[in-house]
Structures are given as C-alpha cells and as structure tokens.
Amino acid sequence: MFGIGFPELLLIAVIALVVIGPQRLPDLARALGRGFAEFRRATDELKQTFEEEARAARSQELRQKLLAEGKIRPPGATDPYPPEANPAAVPGPAGNASGASAPVADAATATAPPAGQPLAGNDPPAAETRHG
C-alpha cells in the first residue's frame, strides 16, 4: 500500500510500545481501528451516492433521447397509433386478405399438441444428432 513491509511495521509497533506503553497501546489500536472503519464506511457511502447519481443521470439522458426519437411516450400522452390505424390488429375485411376474421385463441380452451408434435403452422422439430 505505502511500500511498508513487515520489518517496517514491526519497527513501528516496537516504537509505539515504548512511547505509549503496554497499558494504553490496546486502547489506541482499538481507537485507530474504529477510526479506519468509520473512514471506510464514509467513503463507501460517498462512492455509492456518486454511483446512484451517475445512474440517475444516465437514465434521464437515455429517457430524453428516447422521447426525442419518439420511441417512448411521456406518461398521460395519447397513443399516436390507435388500433384502427393498424390493419393487422383489426379483424375483418381490412385485417386480412381473405376477408374472414382471424381466429382468436382462448387461453382457457386452448390445448397443447401431444408431446413431440409441432405446433400448428410451425416447422417440425429438427432431428436430434448424437455426438459421441
């Protein structure tokens, strides 16, 4: 950390023992430990605050960019594309080429195909190959 190795730490400990004395040395070490812990706690809290503020600034910047590009709408804004403007969303003659309304699946009555069978309209599952 500061280029202090074990011999230097041992020398500092011996000097502290001689100057402070064996009775007060544990109290001093305890006080130093508490001071370092409080310093670390304060720096961690400050770092966390900076990270939260930076995250909030990035989020606000991204939100402003997406609003400017029209990719998101502000709360309470009306939908610029109502369902009537999307022909695929409206069943009936405008909704598909055949003029018939598209079937709507009901989640309560829908059933899954038997195991190993493809879903309707999907490709069959690919054959499994074993490498070994």
Q: What is the pLDDT of residue 84?
A: 72
The type of residue at 3 is: G
Above pLDDT 70, what percent of the chain?
58
Domain boundaries, the chain: 11-75
Type and span of the H or E element at 27:
helix 25-69
Q: Contact 111/117 with Cβ under 8 angstroms?
A: no
Q: What is the pLDDT of residue 22?
A: 86
Q: What is the pLDDT of residue 95?
A: 47
Q: What is the pLDDT of residue 38?
A: 97
Q: pTM for the full model?
A: 0.42
Q: What is the pLDDT of residue 62?
A: 93
Q: Contact 103/97 with Cβ under 8 angstroms?
A: no
Q: What is the pLDDT of residue 80?
A: 65
Q: Contact 67/74 with Cβ under 8 angstroms?
A: yes
Low-confidence ranges of the chain (pLDDT < 70): 1-2, 79-83, 85-132
C-alpha distances (whole Å) from 42 to each of 7, 14, 34, 39, 109 are 31, 31, 12, 5, 59
Q: What is the pLDDT of residue 114?
A: 65
